[in-house]
């Protein structure tokens, strides 16, 4: 008998939404997260994970945080995760009353990149099931477009802690909250080898 072909799953992870979900929920100790292993925890027996895409931007203007982030990106890459980068833009704001100015940083293109990949991969028939890790309601039209245009495909929402979103739940085929237990189970080891063969060490404080 021919073996039944498994459903192909691609995971699309909104890195910032996931990170701040962890921080807001008091789960900073879960930041050393093996997202590929985590996505595997949501697979049914008839499904296989064919790709994990992590959408994020490199931090600016904080050398210590930049270094920790770079270590994490190396760990993700070592596990086979695809990193797709947006960018941070700086903007100077001014108080009209006192004329005090300050600089803010905003992330650009990350959401657009994720939505574009989700739609294009559906068009290219790269997946049967899409896991989207985010609680950002901006993705609702994109999720709706995939589920309505491609009847044979499904977008499943996996919400980070403190990020459940009703509008996304309504548009997705199904949704669930990523539990604290799964996050704890799916941490990278303290030490691992990068794709370049150089040892990666979990950042202090993570």
pLDDT of residue 105: 45
In a domain, 77, yes or no: yes
User: Which is it for the CA torsion 41, 46, 51, 56, positive or negative?
Assistant: negative
In a domain, 1, yes or no: no
Residue 156 maps to which CATH number?
3.40.50.1010
Cα separations in angstroms, 65 against 32, 61, 71, 116: 14, 9, 10, 28
In a domain, 140, yes or no: yes
CA distance 111 to 108: 8
In a domain, 22, yes or no: yes
pLDDT of residue 2: 56
Cα 32–34–137 angle (5° rounding)?
Answer: 90
3-state secondary structure of 14: strand
Per the structure, the complete domain to which residue 108 belongs is given by 7-201
In a domain, 108, yes or no: yes
pLDDT of residue 1: 52
In a domain, 70, yes or no: yes
* DSSP β-bridge partners for residue 7: 47
Residue 27 CB contacts under 8 Å (≥ 6 apart), including other chains: 161, 180, 183
In a domain, 206, yes or no: no
CA distance 72 to 33: 9
In a domain, 92, yes or no: yes
Q: Per residue, what are the HEC states of 134-149?
A: CCCHHHHHHHHHHHHH
Query: How many domains, in total, are found in the chain?
Result: 1
Residue with tokens 């049914």: 44
pLDDT in tens, the chain (206 residues): 556 789 999 999 999 999 999 999 999 999 999 999 999 999 999 999 999 999 999 987 788 999 999 999 999 999 999 999 985 445 455 565 675 554 454 555 789 999 999 999 999 999 999 999 999 999 999 999 999 999 999 999 999 999 999 999 999 999 999 999 999 999 999 999 999 999 999 998 88
pTM (two decimals): 0.88
């Amino acid at each position: 008998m021919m073996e039944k072909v498994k459903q192909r799953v691609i995971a699309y992870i909104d890195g910032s939404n996931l990170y701040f979900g962890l921080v807001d929920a008091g789960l900073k100790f879960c930041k050393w997260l093996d997202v590929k292993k985590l996505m595997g925890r949501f697979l049914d027996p008839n499904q296989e994970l064919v790709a994990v895409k992590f959408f994020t931007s490199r931090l600016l203007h904080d050398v210590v945080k930049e270094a920790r982030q770079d270590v994490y990106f190396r760990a993700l890459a070592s596990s086979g995760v695809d990193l797709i980068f947006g960018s941070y833009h700086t903007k100077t704001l001014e108080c009209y009353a006192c004329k005090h100015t300050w600089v803010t940083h905003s992330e650009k293109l990350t959401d657009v990149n994720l939505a574009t990949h989700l739609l294009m991969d559906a068009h290219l028939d790269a997946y049967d099931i899409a896991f989207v890790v985010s609680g950002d309601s901006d993705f609702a039209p994109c999720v709706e477009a995939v589920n309505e245009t491609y009847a044979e495909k499904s977008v499943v929402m996996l919400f980070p802690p403190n990020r459940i979103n009703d509008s996304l739940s309504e548009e997705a085929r199904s949704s669930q909250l990523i539990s604290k237990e799964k996050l704890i189970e799916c941490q990278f080891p303290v030490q691992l080898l990068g794709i370049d063969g150089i040892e990666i060490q979990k950042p202090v404080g993570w």
